[in-house]
Amino acid sequence: METPGSGTQAMRALIALRERILAGTIGPGTRLLEVPLSEALEISRTPLREAMARLVEEGLLERVRAGGFVVRSFGFQDVIDAIELRGVLEGTAARLAAERGVGEEALTELGEVVSALDLCFGAAPGEVEFERYSELNAGFHERLSGLAGSSVIKRELDRVTRLPFASPSAFLPDKADIVAFRRSLNVAQDQHRAMVAAIAGREGARAEALAREHARLARQNLEYVMEEDRSLLSRVPGMALMVG
Amino acid sequence: METPGSGTQAMRALIALRERILAGTIGPGTRLLEVPLSEALEISRTPLREAMARLVEEGLLERVRAGGFVVRSFGFQDVIDAIELRGVLEGTAARLAAERGVGEEALTELGEVVSALDLCFGAAPGEVEFERYSELNAGFHERLSGLAGSSVIKRELDRVTRLPFASPSAFLPDKADIVAFRRSLNVAQDQHRAMVAAIAGREGARAEALAREHARLARQNLEYVMEEDRSLLSRVPGMALMVG
DNA sequence: CCTTCCCAAAATGTATACATTGTCGAGACT
DNA sequence: AGTCTCGACAATGTATACATTTTGGGAAGG
């Protein structure tokens, strides 16, 4: 049995719309008109509205006062704030995990992810298996978000992370050619290891500070892209949502 | 002109459903069946689904995998975590406001709210104008959430605050008869004043710590209610959502 | 020339009939 | 007795016709 609803019209509309918004085909601020859209997607208005309602939950659309939806738009500062917010929430997850304590197995598991991440680094300074690193990194952050055992925290963290540019993986893939990015991976991995140690040692404040600083790497990378090489912007996921 | 959509069937359904959920008429975990509900509310299924989609955004409902909606349910720990989360987010708003600086007017305005809160305290120790205090307190937190000038932060803070038991006013109204609650108001007001001072003085860490500790008052009050006098539970907004 | 009112068009809101899908139980076969 | 399957029911999913509201422009009046 597949995921129920995966073959529904609403799901098709959801996927198609999400893709177009993230690709920038439908730019930020654009109002989504039901009739033309339903014709373009060859889907009737009812499931289309269902899809749009879900995209509001994802944070990609906004409801407009008089009815209808527009593509949400983010300024540079909004992107910075979303990254900061992720840091704050991951920090909270890490702190609570440290303060409340976590089960042996969960901690071991997280440690194994960190060990696996170590194996992505080769002998030479800049030699890194990016694809594998990216996957494992996503796994690390996923586990971290649930480590405190709080569904409320996990839920909000997942929510913020759903904004592509605020995701922990936003500045990872196929950035192999940028020296500054490669070096940031070593720092990031140090922080991963330190976070696990802090949580294991019940050092809540340290775990929180580390998670916040960890998110700052994403901010650094974003600022590098904006100031040094804007041609890389198109490779950052969700950047089509940014204006200015 | 009134709020657009305020007279729509979807809005009626939204209000009716929200009321029933918060009152506990429709208990946590209950699945909302479209046909019976639409008959009960005398509203067709289409606007009903619209209303349910909005209640998902509000955090009162959850979508269920196979389709449909259920009333979200919170354990005691979830309520604690939601309050903690509010503290973390208000702390972030306060810290960013301090670090980035806020305009003269906004800061003055916040200070005036604090001064007005002062006037709610009479000469005798426990003499407080609760209604006025409650209103002004809501205003203080509302302004605080926007003080950093970050729409991303404000949005998520508003979102968490929409859970009634996590709202800054959750443990305020008509609690005049509880000595412990009355005393907490004095502490709270001290924290209000200190937060403004910290923000004005660009003391980010202090502002953040104060906001977090401020939210802990709500937690204290919740724990008091749970341990000392559960008969008060029914007076706490949103407690119908709590199970266990 | 600006303002205001009003109408028409276009948008969202609503109802409802119908389609599809998932669920649960009864029956038969093993 | 257990289990597998099939079918009926009940739920959500979809399409579409119709209602209502909003909006923009143009004409009339100040």
pLDDT digits (tens, 9 = 90+) for B13-27: 999 999 999 999 999
Tokens, residue B158: 């508003």
Would you state the pLDDT for residue B27?
A: 95
- For the beta sheet containing A31-32, the strands, ordered from the edge strand earlier in sequence to the opposite edge, are A31-32, A69-71, A61-63
**CATH node for A6-71:** 1.10.10.10
pLDDT digits (tens, 9 = 90+) for A110-137: 999 999 999 988 777 667 788 889 999 9
Would you state the pLDDT for residue B125?
A: 66
CB atoms within 10 A of CB B12: 17
pLDDT digits (tens, 9 = 90+) for B86-115: 999 999 999 999 999 999 999 999 999 999
Say if CB A69 and CB A37 are below 8 A apart: no
Which residues on B lie below 8 Å from A67 (Cβ)? 4-5
Share above pLDDT 90 across residues of chain B, in percent, rounded to a whole number: 75
More confident residue, B171 or A96: A96
pLDDT digits (tens, 9 = 90+) for A35-74: 999 999 999 999 999 999 999 999 999 999 888 999 999 9
pLDDT digits (tens, 9 = 90+) for B109-120: 999 999 999 988
Share above pLDDT 70 across residues of chain B, in percent, rounded to a whole number: 93
Would you state the pLDDT for residue A2?
A: 44
**Count of positions (residues) in chain A:** 244
Q: What pTM does this model have?
A: 0.94
Q: Are strands B69-71 and A31-32 parallel, antiparallel or unpaired?
A: unpaired
Q: Which residue of B has its CA nearest to A10?
A: B67
Q: Is the pLDDT of residue B178 over 70?
A: no
A85–B78 CB contact, under 8 Å: no
Nearest to B5 among A4, A67, A159 (CB): A67
Rounded to the nearest integer, the mean pLDDT of chain B is 91
Shortest alpha-carbon distance between residue A129 and chain B (Å): 34
CB of B46 lies under 7 Å from some atom of strand C: yes
Q: Is A81 on the interface with B (CB under 8 A)?
A: yes
Q: Is the pLDDT of residue B4 over 70?
A: no
Q: Is the pLDDT of residue B5 over 80?
A: no
Residue numbers 60-89 of A with CB closer than 7 A to any atom of strand C: 67-69
Nucleotides of strand D lying closer than 7 angstroms to a protein CB: 11-17, 21-23
Would you state the pLDDT for residue A187?
A: 92
Q: Is the pLDDT of residue B3 over 60?
A: no
A84–B77 CB contact, under 8 Å: no
Q: How far is Cα A220 from Cα A181, in angstroms, rounded to an integer? A: 9
Q: Is the pLDDT of residue B1 over 60?
A: no
Q: How far is Cα B57 from Cα B74, in angstroms, rounded to an integer? A: 16
Q: Is the pLDDT of residue B126 over 90?
A: no
Q: Which residues of chain A have pLDDT under 50?
A: 1-2
Q: Where are the domains of chain B?
A: 6-71, 76-236
Q: How far is Cα A198 from Cα A218, in angstroms, rounded to an integer? A: 21
Domain A76-236 in CATH: superfamily?
GntR ligand-binding domain-like (1.20.120.530)
CB atoms within 10 A of CB A223: 12
pLDDT band at B163 (very low <50, low <70, confident <90, very high): very high
Nearest to B152 among A57, A82, A89 (CB): A82
Distance B234 CA to C30 C1' (A): 58
Would you state the pLDDT for residue B244?
A: 83
